[in-house]
Amino acid sequence: MASRKRPLEKRPHGSGTKPTKRGHQWTMQVTLGRRADGKLDRRRVFGLTPEDCLQKARELQVAAAQGMLATHERTTVAEWLGIWLGGKATQAAPTYRLKLEAHAKHITQHLGSMELRKLRPGHVHTFARALEAKGLAPSYRREVLSTLEAALERAVVMELIPRNVARPVKLEAAPATRKVKAWDAATVARFLEVARPYRLYPLFYLGFATGLRREELLGLRWVDIDLEARTLRVEQTLTPDKGGVHIGPPKTRTSRRVVGFGPDVAAVLEEWRAKLAEERRILGKEWYDSGLVFPSSTGHPLHPRNVNRDMGQIIKTHNRKRVKEIRRAMQGQPEEEIKRAIEEVMLPHLSPHMMRHTHATLLAQKTRQIELVSRRLGHSRPSVTLDIYRHIATWELEEVALPLSELLNPTPRTLN
């Protein structure tokens, strides 16, 4: 009797080919649907045993069902950064976009030629070590890695990669306190006295008096100022852009705020408005009416670098002049005494943004109200203000340094 042929074993649909041995490994192929170009998405897996191949094939099928499967696209890190930055260009402020482009240059230099899908946490870790070897500050290295993480997070959303490989890579913790540079009251008074003859004196005065950012001062319009109520509204900023300046909305939602000022600021602004009217009268039709409080000498928006240049020049000129005067007056005296006298009259270097830090420092020391300072500066949370100005909040320690007898006293005490 002829033996009956054994029926062929049917494999479930979509389970892939049978594992076959190739050399010392087993391999099989599994189909995971179709790619974006319409072709079948076939993947090949390898294992030491047939069971290994079947397990890896099942893992691929689960990843495909969950949308966690890496694509076939050979997009490089540099190409994806270009695409990601192109999308940011339409929504990010110019200064922020320029910062992202600077970060992207570091990333492209080390990881640009690598395929996005082949990027691993080890590559990102090596990149972080390379940034450290360059001598970059820890805060800047964190910013660069944050930019890479944000770009890869978008790639995950677009299903170009299954996971964000930059997320596991962490740098050392940020310093507990972040000290900022600021002048004391006497130095501010001395600088304002020296800067009085200069054209941008009203801008410096308003900066020290209100704590506005340089970009907020330059974007301030006369329609945003109420001299009778002695208030101003921060509605726009003026930031440097490639080849010029950009006027746009404030940095954050909380940056759009109302700031009060004293009668001294009102007097300075009244005098400044009269001076601008005279400049406008002299230039006539050549005057450009931008409506800004601090325009250039022709009425056009003033580039932020001019503020930095003028402040630096004022300090440099004053210091050079005072050094000559003291050396002439103290000629023949010991060098140590001359140097000591020079140090007492020298103005330290200060950038325009440090006017904001100086205002916040003096206001916090005077009012002892971090919440008030935070609202005035336009910070999103008082904790942000505390992180920056914690080193000046020494009164907090003084107010809670109470004797045990007072702690045990049931009568409550109200702190200032």
Per-residue pLDDT of the chain (416 residues; tens, 9 = 90+): 455 555 545 666 667 788 888 888 899 988 887 776 677 878 888 888 988 888 888 887 877 776 666 655 678 899 889 888 887 766 666 777 888 889 999 999 999 999 888 899 999 999 999 998 998 888 889 999 999 999 999 888 776 788 899 998 887 655 555 567 788 889 999 999 999 999 999 999 999 999 999 999 999 999 999 999 999 999 999 988 877 888 888 878 888 999 999 999 999 999 999 999 999 999 999 999 999 999 999 999 999 999 999 999 999 999 999 888 888 888 888 888 888 888 888 888 888 989 999 998 888 888 778 888 888 888 888 877 777 776 665 555 455 455 666 557 666 655 45
199 and 305 co-located in one domain: yes
Q: Are strands 237-241 and 244-248 parallel, antiparallel or unpaired?
A: antiparallel
313 and 365 co-located in one domain: no
391 and 282 co-located in one domain: no
Last residue of a domain, one of 324, 345, 366: 345
CA-to-CA distance for 206 and 262, rounded, in angstroms? Answer: 10
Give the model's pLDDT for residue 329. Answer: 86
Angle at CA of residue 253, ends 250 and 255, nearest 5°: 50
Burial class (CB in 10 A: 0-12, 13-18, 19+), 402: exposed
Is 166 domain-assigned?
no
339 and 374 co-located in one domain: no
249 and 311 co-located in one domain: yes
Give the model's pLDDT for residue 8. Answer: 47
100 and 51 co-located in one domain: no
199 and 320 co-located in one domain: yes
Is 173 domain-assigned?
no
Is 382 domain-assigned?
yes
Burial class (CB in 10 A: 0-12, 13-18, 19+), 256: middle
Rounded to a whole number of angstroms, the distance between the first and last alpha carbons of the chain is 108
81 and 61 co-located in one domain: no
> Which CATH number covers residue 278?
1.10.443.10
Instruction: Find the domain containing 144 and state its range.
Output: 77-157
Give the model's pLDDT for residue 152. Answer: 92
109 and 241 co-located in one domain: no
CA-to-CA distance for 100 and 92, rounded, in angstroms? Answer: 10
Give the model's pLDDT for residue 393. Answer: 55
143 and 196 co-located in one domain: no
SS3 148: helix
Total domains in the fold of the chain: 4
For residue 387 the two structure tokens come to 């992180």
Half-sphere CA count of 240, side-chain side, radius 13 A = 11
Half-sphere CA count of 155, side-chain side, radius 13 A = 34
Is 350 domain-assigned?
no
129 and 148 co-located in one domain: yes
Is 51 domain-assigned?
yes
For residue 88 the two structure tokens come to 């940011």
362 and 304 co-located in one domain: no
Mention every residue, 6+ apart, whose C-beta is less than 8 A from residue 204.
191, 192, 195, 311, 355
